[in-house]
Structure 1
Amino acid sequence: MGIVVVFLLGVSNFALHRAALESGHPMAGSSPWYIHLLGGRIALATEFLLLLAALLLVSQGAAWPVWAYVAYTALNAVGAWLIITRRV
């Protein structure tokens, strides 16, 4: 069950990340150079590595990565909402 939850949260993190990168917000344009390297693919690769690490830990029977990934997704959602709605 934990693997399914982390996977679904990972899919939503990718969508949030891509939406924030493509929002056209001035903050996204002033990000460090490595964020925009290869059209933002480096940032998405980092997102993938976090998802992979969480999935591997959950598959070994650990429960804490699920809660950590839930918290990470919640922070991503708040950050993406702030960027997309231009409240920041």
Structure 2
Amino acid sequence: MLIGIIFVLGIANFAVHKAVIESNHPLLDTLPASFRARGGRFSLIFEFFVLLAAMLLAGSGWRAAVWGYAIYSVINGVTAWLLLNRRI
């Protein structure tokens, strides 16, 4: 159950992350070139490793990983909403 929750949040995080990368927001120009190169592939790989770590921790019975990843997802969602709606 815990891994399933993290997996669903991970799908949402990847979708939001890709939408932000494709938005070409001026704030993205402040990121290091390695995060922007090849369509943001490095940043998506980093996102994958965050998801993998959370799933492994949750699979080991560490419930705090679910809460931590949920908070991370909310922060990602709010930030993406701010960027995509040009509020920043």
Which TM-score applies when normalising by structure 2?
0.95
What does 1:70-81 align with in structure 2 at a 5 Å threshold?
A: 70-81=70-81
Q: Which residue of 2 aligns with 1:42?
A: 42
CA distance in 1, matches of 2:78, 2:8: 17
1:38 deviation in Å? 2.3
Distance 1:76 1:56 in 2: 21
**Pairing 1:17-36 to 2, within 5 Å after superposition:** 17-36=17-36
Regions of 4+ moved over 6 Å: none
TM-score by length of 1: 0.95
How high is the sequence identity, in percent, across the aligned residues?
44
User: Match for residue 60 of structure 2?
Assistant: 60
Instruction: Give the C-alpha shift of residue 30 in structure 1.
Output: 3.0
Give the unaligned 5+ runs of structure 1.
none
* Alignment root-mean-square deviation, CA: 0.9
The answer to whether the 8 Å contact 2:17/2:44 transfers is yes
- Residues 30-60 of structure 1 deviation map (CA, whole Å, 9 limit, x = unaligned): 3221111222000000000000000001111
Matched length: 88
